[in-house]
Amino acid sequence: MSIRAAGLVKRFGEFTAVAGVDLTVEAGAIHGFLGPNGSGKSTTVKMLTGLLIPTAGTVEIDGISLAADPVAVKRSIGVLPEDLALFNALTLWEHLTLAGPLYGLTAAETEERAGQLLRYLDLFAERHTEAGQASYGMRKKTAFALALLHNPKTLFLDEPFEGIDPSSAENMRELLVGLAAKGAAIFITSHILDVVEKLVGTYSILSGGKVVASGRTGDRPLKDVYFEHIPRPAGEEFAWLG
């Protein structure tokens, strides 16, 4: 197995954001992590990737404990975090050339992979734009390329398709499917149920910091399962609108 989390809890003072999440994602699987805003999805991803320290619980990636050897875990995972985690003062290209050597790639390997990724994501022409000056979509594609650059065995992607143009989103989807087919474990959070349903094999639905449903896509329409556990707000009549 590639991702294993047991009893993950995160409290911020009195507020419990994540209340005991257990997860297992096998190698070669794409797992969708769904839930409404504020349900604890991003907090869970941050705990799984070392950005937040869990109040309780354990995380293991490829059998390595995140708490015991965080650097080894970071070396083996790729992350597209919620806020993209880019340096405003570096260009998109510099982000990639900075990261490669830290993951053990040579400069030539880094440049070759970076160029290929940016061309595939339609970002090569804009590669010398500083991240602070780049559009949200450009920043997100860069963060996505950074997540893939070192060929990680495990990927965490927080809302990867939000704000991405359709052709790049399709290319990203193809890359992810190919990566999973080669044995990578991929963990995706998303609000877009249609996209998730086409991409993932298994899913968990989070509400109030707890997993309220999980299963395999294809057994039942994902929308039915989702709205069964996450009810929509009651209808309102907006007489003043329109």
In the complex, which residues of this chain contact another protein (CB under 8 A)? 49-53, 70-72, 74-75, 79, 81, 83-91, 94-95, 97-99, 102-103, 128-130, 133
Closer Cβ to another protein, 27 or 85, answer by number: 85
The one-letter amino acid code at 183 reads: G
Contact 61, 97 (CB under 8 A): no
Let me know: does 236 contact 47? Beta carbons within 8 Å: no
Give the nearer residue to another protein in terms of CB position, either 51 or 212. Answer: 51
Query: Is the sign of the CA dihedral 203, 201, 113, 109 positive or negative?
Result: positive
Which of residues 97 and 202 has its CB atom nearest to another protein in the complex? Answer: 97
Neighbours of 22 (CB within 10 A): 13
Are 196 and 161 in contact by the 8 Å Cβ rule? The answer is no
> 211's torsion region: left (phi>0), alpha (psi -120 to 50) or beta?
beta
Token pair for 42:
């991003």
Q: Residue 163 in contact with residue 142, Cβ under 8 Å?
A: no
Confirm if 207 and 19 have CB atoms less than 8 A apart.
no
Q: Are 55 and 11 in contact (CB under 8 A)?
A: yes
Q: Closest approach of Cβ 180 to another protein, in Å?
A: 21
CB of 125 to another protein, least distance (A): 12
- Closest contact distance (angstroms) between CB of 197 and another protein is 29
User: Smaller CB distance to another protein: residue 12 or 227?
Assistant: 12
Q: What's the number of CA atoms in the CB half-sphere (13 Å) around residue 224?
A: 6
Cβ-based nearer residue to another protein, 85 or 213: 85
Nearest to another protein of 91, 190 (CB atom): 91
Smallest distance, another protein to C-beta of residue 169, A: 22
H-helix or E-strand spanning residue 185: strand 185-189
